[in-house]
Amino acid sequence: MYAFTLHTRTHSIKSTHRAMAGKRTHEAREGKSDTPKCSNPNCTSGSYSLQSCARCRSVAYCSRECQTVSWPSHKAQCKRQNYIIKFHLCPGEVKDPEVIRTLSCPATATFDELHQALQVAFQWFSTHTYDFTIPDPAYRMPETLKESIDQMRLASMAQFKPELAATLPRQNLLRVVNPSPQMFVDQGSEPTRKHPNTLEKKAHQYKLFQFFEDQQYQGKQMVYTYDFGDNWRHQMSLEGRGPPTTDFKCVSAEGHYVAEDVGSPSGWEKLKAAYRTSNPTQQQKEKREWYESDCSNGEKEGLTGRENEVDKFLIDYVLGGMRSAGLTNDGRQNPYAGEN
Ligand SMILES: [Zn+2]
Ligand SMILES: [Zn+2]
């Protein structure tokens, strides 16, 4: 996909980036007046005790009156700041190297748009379904295979007998669901994630700021799960706020992207092991062959010496222009594109 066609652009993106970084340090050295002033140009109070505009945090006023007077002119520039969110793929399970992406996310983006951006950032192939959840801390994973099968059976029966649903253990407090789930591939696990006491939101309608500004979710950790079979859980943590943008931006990236359908973190570890050895077994040779020719996001050059390889600038390049043009991660028109 884009990895080949756009690769030549990365060098120029890198040099532009260096030039911009230099300019910022220069400005900081010259310095500007540190004395805080009320953002109402006609304010005469001279007070230095100021309150920032809660929405954009880019202006500050000495009083409610100054804010009210300034609102008609401030309104147009008053944009919510981006959320800087770190996504850590299966912490403790995917390691050497860990696979982490940090994105600057427009506050008005929907969770479906965030999903599209994450598919680019982790180079997933959109062949599976997803959700965003706040896990229920009281939930306990099934300990045996039998327990797990019993739970899945009960969950699929509950689809037809709703009175059974409440007897299932609740996995999540909140679930933000895919508007067009890939029901064929992930059908088996979908019902166990549903629960009458799990609040559901539609990913193409629910916006990031609606989640982050909701008091009941303050400080709660959210998880983005892609593929309910391999169960790729990306732990999300809010790292800070950034300047408002229309498109998502890649702040940092580490670790080569993981092979889709490799069979969960343990399968990924086995695939990497197959490339680390100079004397592969027959099974390891087959794994390499699968990655190089059959895996949906595999690469024909294999993984030897490339486990840390990730092109942050390329991710950023692809993200720039994606949401603003209402596109999905594979370049199609997104039927659920929100307004920018
Ligand atoms: Zn004032
Ligand atoms: Zn404002």
What local confidence, expressed as pLDDT, does residue 22 receive?
43
What local confidence, expressed as pLDDT, does residue 340 receive?
63
Nearest to 74 by CA among 86, 57, 99, 91: 57
CA of 77 to the centre of ligand 1 (A): 18
Ligand 1 ion: Cβ-proximal residues, 5 Å cutoff: 38, 40, 43, 62, 66
Q: What is the pTM of this model?
A: 0.83
CA of 240 to the centre of ligand 1 (A): 28
Q: Which CATH class is domain 82-257+310-319?
A: alpha beta
318: its two tokens: 């692809």
* Whether pLDDT at 24 is above 60: no
Residue count of the chain, please give it: 340
* Whether pLDDT at 288 is above 70: yes
Q: How many whole angstroms from its chain centre is CA 279?
A: 38
**H or E segment and range at residue 302:** none
Say whether 1 sits in a helix, a strand or coil: coil
What local confidence, expressed as pLDDT, does residue 188 receive?
61
CA of 48 to the centre of ligand 1 (A): 9
Render 239-299 in DSSP notation, one character per residue: EEEE---SS-EEEEEESPPPPTTS-HHHHHHHHHHHHH-SS--HHHHHHHHIIIIISTT--
Residue appearing with tokens 């009458």: 196
Q: How far from 185 is each of 5, 226, 227, 231, CA to CA, in Å? A: 30, 12, 9, 12
Question: In this structure, how many other beta carbons lie within 10 angstroms of the beta carbon of residue 213?
Answer: 14
Condensed to tens digits (0 to 9), the pLDDT of residues 40-50 reads 999 998 888 99
Ligand in nearest proximity to the CA of 61? 1
Q: Which has the higher per-residue pLDDT, 8 or 105?
A: 105
Q: Which has the higher per-residue pLDDT, 238 or 1?
A: 238
User: Which of 7-16, 70-79, 93-102, 139-148 is predicted least confidently?
Assistant: 7-16
Residues forming a β-bridge with 222: 236
Structural domain boundaries of the chain? 36-78, 82-257+310-319
Task: Write the DSSP symbol of residue 80.
Answer: P
What local confidence, expressed as pLDDT, does residue 30 receive?
43
